[in-house]
Structure 1
Amino acid sequence: MYFKKVRLKNYRNFSNLSIELNSNLNIFIGNNAQGKTNLLEGLNLIVKGSSYRTKEDKEVINWNSESAYLFGEINKDDENVQVALALEKKSEDFYKNKLIKTIKINQNVQKKTALSKEFKGVVFSPEHLQIIKGAPSLRRKFLDEQISQIYPLYHRYLSEYYRILGHRNNILKKEVNQKKKKEQLLMWDPRLIKRGSFLILTRIKFIKKINRMAYKFHQEITKEKENIKLTYQSNILKDQEENISSINKEFKDKLEEHREKEIEQRATLLGPHRDDFLVYIDGFNIFKR
């Protein structure tokens, strides 16, 4: 898969950019603040449907415009696929702007999920160094994005998990007596456990697969002078379980064990939304160096 053509209109610092790309390698050279990173972000936006640099996609629209247009012609399996994204600000009131996003694949309107099914893309930029240096939430986000590209079911379960988590946290924050609160939590726990256990199991398998590849490449880079190891860190499991029934049981037991503490702190304290992965070099945790 490769980009053949790209057009960016009123996107970031580009008022109207059209380029044709090489099928093998493309190198962009220029002074600082000329748009090299913006261009890479635009390519990623076309195949992912959202920016990796900002939570608000409306921020990619040129300051002097109310809309932006991105187009890419992509060769996939010797067939040309055209992808177009239109971003338009719609004023809800004086203070807020709602973003209308329209995605088309071969001129047919599609949902964002259609892009992840159709295309696979990986970006590595200076911002991604925060995966190592930053908070666990950044590593979880990176992990979820990569797995979602490979397993669409994971993306669906991830969305459902966070929706269930939101309902559960709302219950924990309510000013109701503990008995009623516990009864309501028991209604949501099985759903949280089912979706959460699937996420944990998939992450464990993914990290183990990545670990094998990382070890091989790191050995080549360091000429076998260093060993690298990636491990998934669950706040539920004692060991790296790969049995869904065992994960379900441990998740259930942990929730029951921490019931009073969660009610006291008014938040769900356990689950994949609190997990992390660690990187070791020769047995040393690099996050603590």
Structure 2
Amino acid sequence: MYLKHLSLTNFRNYTRLEIDLPARISLLQGENAQGKTNFLEAIYYLATTRTPLASADRQLISWAAEEDVIPYARLEGLYTRGGEDHTLEMILVKERQPEGGSTATVFRRQIRLDGVNRRALDVVGKLNVVLFLPEDVTLVSGSPEERRRFLDVALCQIDPLYCASLSRYNRVVAQRNALLHQVREGRASPNQLEYWDEQLVKEGAYVLSKRLWATEKLNAHVSEIHPALTGEQERLVLLYRASVAKRPGKEILPVPDGRLEGRGSSGELAEPRLAEAFRRALQEARREEIARGVTIVGPHRDDLTLLVNGIDMTIYGSRGQQRTVALALKLAEVGLMHQQAQEMPILLLDDVISELDRQRGEFLLKRVSQAQQVLITTTDLRYYAPDFLASVALWR
């Protein structure tokens, strides 16, 4: 799997870009603020329909296009997967429409796969990518939301059903929260929650089962990767902390040896057991949820605990340990995608080598060289060995 051609119009600082990309390692060298990160962001956005660097998609439209009658941005990629070529196109448009006595700005996005209009859910996973950023350390040091997003992005690229279920789950949470708020204010009956509880359980149990599955698979990868990064001195274990487990205390799933609570003899997660645990948790939390007006149990409140030699890195890890754990997680994500898709994802590395010591930098470059296509950005070629530079396509 690799991207053969990328076309950008009015995306970030790119007024116009047409570039052919080789199926090998490409190293993009340049000064800061020249658009290297924006280049990788464009590829990631095409593949996942989301940006990790902007709070809203409308921010992706170039400032230079703001003076146009209809400001817009366009991204198009020609990629090869399974020996077949496909095109993926996204158009972002800002339209100014009269509203009362003023003008309102309306944003819309159009997505096409092979020339046919598609929803975002229909194209996620068609082109698999893994993005490495210096900010990846927040996977460890940041909030639980960062770690949930990590699992969700990986799962959405390999399981379309998961992505659809997660989308429905998030909508149910929003609707249930609105109803809880009304119940708290006496404008609705608590009995009305029963329907939304079942919808929440239906989608939430599936989301939870797949996250537990992914945690187990990622554990298998980090058990090999993390010791290699630490000279066999440390061991990383991922534990999924589910808010629907017994409360209070929030039991951790899976258990440290990698088994999953609720596994059946077939090796599949016992989703009905998770659904029943979810129902019990909702019943126990009912009074508190009404008092607060929000849903306090479910996958949207879960976390991924990261233990190194039994110590929680999200709380007690040094900056160096946290960065190493984050690197192990991203490489495990690559392994998971490769395992499930039977093709290596496209790897995007945004100036991450400069954040690593020599040993870890060399380890990372050796691992990513197994991919069919790798795009790396840097401000300084001195971070790379001469033999590595001689083997890559160098862009300045």
Counterpart for residue 101 of structure 1: 109
Counterpart contact for 2:7–2:75, Cα < 8 Å: yes
The letter of the residue matching 1:216 is E
CA contact (8 A) 2:91 2:109 kept: yes
Q: How does 1:102-117 map to 2 (within 5 A)?
A: 102-117=110-125
In the alignment, which residue of structure 2 is the partner of 1:144? 152
State the match for 1:33 in structure 2: 33
Query: How far apart, CA to CA, are the structure 2 residues paired with 1:177 and 1:20?
Result: 59
Task: Provide the C-alpha distance between the structure 2 equivalents of 1:111 and 1:188, rounded to a whole number of angstroms.
Answer: 25
1:277-288 paired onto structure 2 within 5 Å: 277-288=304-315
User: Residues 102-161 of structure 1, C-alpha deviation per residue, up to 9 Å, x if partnerless?
Assistant: 222222222222322422111111233222121111211221111111111111111111
Q: Where does residue 165 of structure 1 map in the other structure?
A: 173
Number of the residue aligned with 2:297: 270
Equivalent position to 1:260, from 264, 284, 287 = 287
Q: Is the 8 A contact 2:48 2:125 kept in 1?
A: no
Letter in 2 for 1:89: K
TM-score (norm 1): 0.94
- Paired residues of 2:47 and 2:125 also in contact (CA < 8 A): no
The residue matched to 2:277 in structure 1 has which SS?
A: helix
Match of 2:136 among 112, 117, 128: 128
2:78 aligned counterpart, secondary structure: strand
Q: How far off is 1:95 after superposition?
A: 6.5
Q: Which letter does structure 1 place at the counterpart of 2:210?
A: T
Supply the distance in 1 between the matched residues of 2:185 and 2:234 (Cα, whole angstroms): 56
Residue 304 of structure 2 aligns to a residue whose secondary structure is strand
Distance 1:223 1:175, change over 3 A: closer
Percent identity reads: 29
What is the identity, as a one-letter code, of the residue corresponding to 2:9? K
Counterpart contact for 1:172–1:181, Cα < 8 Å? no
Counterpart amino acid of residue 216 in structure 2: K
- The within-5 A match list for 1:203-218 is 203-218=211-226
CA contact (8 A) 1:6 1:19 kept: yes
Please point out which of 96, 102, 106 is paired with 1:91.
96
Unaligned runs of 5+ in 1: none
Structure with bigger RCO (C-alpha 8 Å, 6+ apart): 2
SS in 2 for 1:194: helix
Query: Cα distance 1:50–1:254, how it changes in 2: closer, same or farther (>3 A)?
Result: closer
Q: Distance in 2 between matches of 1:30 and 1:276?
A: 38
Q: Secondary structure at the match of 1:73?
A: strand
Distance, in Å, in 1 between the alignment partners of 2:35 and 2:120 is: 25
The corresponding residue for 1:18 is 18
**Residue 77 of structure 1 is aligned with which of 79, 82, 97?**
82
> What residue number does 2:202 align with?
194
Q: Quick one: which amino acid aligns to residue 249 of structure 1?
A: E
Report the counterpart of residue 49 of structure 1 in structure 2.
Answer: 49
Unaligned runs of 5+ in 2: 66-70, 246-250, 254-260, 263-269, 317-396
- Answer whether contact 1:158 1:199 (CA < 8 A) is retained: yes
Q: Structure 1: how far apart are the matches of 2:239 and 2:210?
A: 13
1:156-198 Cα offsets, whole Å, 9 max, x none, are 1111111111121111111567695320112221111121111
Alpha-carbon separation, structure 1, partners of 2:132 and 2:28: 15
> 1:58-90 CA distances to partner (integer Å, 9 max, x unpaired)?
111110211111121112222222222221111
Whether the aligned pair in 2 keeps the contact of 1:69 and 1:84 (CA below 8 Å) is yes
Q: CA RMSD in A?
A: 1.9
Deviation at 1:15?
1.0
